[in-house]
Structure 1
């Protein structure tokens, strides 16, 4: 309005004020987007008519955003804060290097112990008990127990410190395996059959439940350690995965040497000290619970058990609702299930069967699994390097890795059209590379997108669903390979996977639409 003009202001003073404001605008406009340019033009017009005063040199319009420290990428990144109030956005603290190292070292120690348990227990079932059915029962019980552990663990991780939960599960797993070893030692000393198959199975199931909780905890902790930035999470998860794979190879070699030198039961002695070391390392990370208003259950023991079962079911539903309620989490979860499924099926079922039937040499399974592990390491390194390079934004996004994974899945056609070791090795290596990179990228995307108070329940639901799918598909494929020969079964499997690729490409396109569109470059000021 005209009344807002300072009518008594002399013309020379107004021209001087206008020139100062225009000079300030010129320092902002070249780097501003369209919205900022329109705002600057409106400001200049208001100054021309005298309706707006000239901001001071310390105006928030031209004040730079604070920079957030990053542990994994060079330099500083701009903080996602409100430009109009930089003083209200404190600079985020960089994650502690000691916390990162403790977590990576704890994960490595955990993996070495897992390898010892995973190799020794099935061989105990086959050689000590002398029955293949007990090996199958152990495998099925392990899978079902992990589903249970993931289902009940998600809510616990939201309401309790996740590192405290993880360290306690490590201690308890060391205890259950220690009891298992004690049964065999007591049996050898007294001659009394303490290590009955049912007792070993029960301890194995309890250990599996604890492992399910621990696996879910390891999906929840990374954002609390390095922050919710997507690129930092991808780099951190890649580093952890590299350590995990190296520890897996180390653990397998150590266990194999221990079995050859001392026997099956002594090889299990690797597990408890590694889990105790992991527990100690994880206790060094002091993380607060995401949910702070939790009221502990009261009443009798049975009332607590009943209430706990109801709460676990409610936690699963809350996790499912979190997946369904977010387009980002939903499409990322759809694509995430595939690498989880393929990785477990490939190493536990498809590679051994292909080596024995298609290649007629069971010993080459070790070479194919080695190629798979090598591919995973390369995938983790590639993802880590890509997210340290700010010049390639397309590779920073999960849809890129989903499309790469789709190409890797099609490589499994080599099992059908070119069943030769020299074709299968590079195909499996590239497939594992693409699956590992996509898995880590999607996992990081979900971690970044979820609120802290829902991460445990959401990953609890996703992990339980993935384990259930692995059991279902494993049983189906096992029946198919027994009922039909391996050749036709691989043809049908690859046809199904080709259809899955179409679904993955659709999921990638839907996920890509959830990313903000980059602003077009602003035109230079005239």
Structure 2
């Protein structure tokens, strides 16, 4: 292909005028989204941390702060799983840009609710010269039950999961399924995404939280999310994949679709079906099976370091929960550097294998954390820890971008084979949901373990040996070994035999389709009523793929 021979100076010229326009619109909206997201996520975690610490102090009970914060984050992740499952059938029926815009607008609405509740219960913006009467004095907070944050954060998790999953599939809709274009677009988008992420994290930790208090520091979030939702409506995507006319449901079934309960049941069936399809695509193909560890486990590891470990370090090591955003900002800066490297080296490193191996090795940096003794209440050491997160973010970024491009390009040939569920959406939903389930279960359990040890020994370092050093070392080893599973992956910079693998998968799909069509013609598959219509649709979907 001609663009593979083009130098880095002419990379932008590889895209058509419409692709450039769509990328520009997508990037602008994404930067508004990311900045607002950093303000929201950073504020909510620190708000919950402070409120649970305050509640324990007032009641005189042992602190269970990180068990509860872990539960909060875990439930949010679990509801992200629901949101990610919703995407596969939705993007098959409506344009991806429309689903994305609606999702982010719903997200905006529910981020505003928490501030409304805080204000209605006596909360206010942090006074300019506020002086704490004691370490856990946050008298400017609203007087609602801290557990009230949980349902709001869960609902935002649904929208968050939808948006994050769409971010991983919409590049294919904009530039097609070309691997090199996808890598370059993913890297280019990631550069601007992390510029917004770095600035958003530092602005939140150093500006918004100290000035407004973390109960109102995300006041910009609903505004920025709404702007992003409007901007994204102007994207003209390629992948407006609607149901194939030949696969439309019959008139009798169509009338039944108006029945609300039938629609709900069918929806749940499609949700489970998308996970089943995604998991089967992953685990029955040597080409894809390694993705589960390299994608889901590494994503869990990096999110746990940012959303689980950074707040613990900020609170227990440094004594200021807001400084966790400084640490996260260091990770985001590393992700920015990784995106720049992938953008210029995508033609040299043609597969994600080398990047996954590098990411696995970089994770071993965390061994210093249990043995680090910074003085508390000194922001200088938050910056030092943030600097150690830069290479961690770098490894995460280059791995994530390359894997997303590989998945998008490898699964594009299956996209038109399915009536109701996007193959790409199903696979990414399965991988993303796997990470979410792991995080949702592990984070509260590890938080409970941390709290129990902290109450007995007043230190979290023994916990960090197990939860940080040992846990992430195991993940590193599993990921590194997994990178040798695909064909031709033994070399340092392998070139996977994608064409041969793709052909075999496609042949298998087409052969199954022929068998199904013969069965249908012979009358072995007949639609009778809504229940049989749904059953047929499921059987058709399964046979279409496998």
TM exceeds 0.5? yes
Q: 8 Å contact 2:81–2:161 — kept in the other structure?
A: yes
Partner of 1:81: none
1:172–1:94 distance in 2 versus 1, CA, 3 Å: same
Partner of 1:378: 337
Distance apart, 1:267 and its partner CA: 3.5
1:196–1:71 distance in 2 versus 1, CA, 3 Å: farther
Matched, 1:327 2:302: no
Partner of 1:510: 485
Matched, 1:285 2:220: no
1:164–1:195 distance in 2 versus 1, CA, 3 Å: farther
Matched, 1:165 2:99: yes
The 5-angstrom pairing of residues 68-467 of structure 1 reads 73=8, 96-125=19-48, 131=55, 138-185=72-119, 201-255=150-204, 257-264=207-214, 266-287=216-237, 288-293=239-244, 295=249, 298-354=257-313, 368-387=327-346, 390=347, 393=348, 395-416=349-370, 427-451=388-412, 452=415, 453-467=422-436
CA-to-aligned-CA distance 1:164-200 (integer Å, 9 cap, x gap): 10001122222233444444455559xxx99666765
Q: 8 Å contact 1:414–1:424 — kept in the other structure?
A: no
1:450–1:136 distance in 2 versus 1, CA, 3 Å: same
Partner of 1:481: 450
CA-to-aligned-CA distance 1:107-138 (integer Å, 9 cap, x gap): 11111221232233345556678545875554
TM-score, length basis structure 2: 0.69
Distance apart, 1:67 and its partner CA: 4.4
Structure ranking higher on relative contact order (CA contacts 8 Å, 6+ apart): 2
Q: 8 Å contact 2:74–2:439 — kept in the other structure?
A: no
Distance apart, 1:489 and its partner CA: 3.6
User: 2:193 & 2:465 partners in 1: Cα distance?
Assistant: 33
1:368–1:165 distance in 2 versus 1, CA, 3 Å: closer
Distance apart, 1:206 and its partner CA: 1.9
Whose radius of gyration is greater, 1 or 2?
1
Q: In structure 1, the residue corresponding to 2:266 is in which secondary structure?
A: helix
User: 1:411 & 1:264 partners in 2: Cα distance?
Assistant: 30
User: 1:470 & 1:68 partners in 2: Cα distance?
Assistant: 40
Partner of 1:498: 473
User: 1:219 & 1:301 partners in 2: Cα distance?
Assistant: 31
Q: 8 Å contact 1:70–1:94 — kept in the other structure?
A: no
Distance apart, 1:467 and its partner CA: 0.9
Q: In structure 2, the residue corresponding to 1:339 is in which secondary structure?
A: helix
After superposing the two structures, state which structure 1 stretch, 363-372 or 427-436, moved more. Answer: 363-372
Q: 8 Å contact 2:37–2:221 — kept in the other structure?
A: yes
User: 2:272 & 2:95 partners in 1: Cα distance?
Assistant: 21
User: 2:312 & 2:16 partners in 1: Cα distance?
Assistant: 51
Distance apart, 1:95 and its partner CA: 5.0
User: 2:310 & 2:50 partners in 1: Cα distance?
Assistant: 23
Q: In structure 2, the residue corresponding to 1:280 is in which secondary structure?
A: helix
1:187–1:480 distance in 2 versus 1, CA, 3 Å: closer
1:490–1:119 distance in 2 versus 1, CA, 3 Å: closer
Q: 8 Å contact 1:329–1:449 — kept in the other structure?
A: no
TM-score, length basis structure 1: 0.71
Query: Which consecutive unaligned segments of at least 5 residues does structure 1 have?
Result: 1-65, 78-90, 519-526
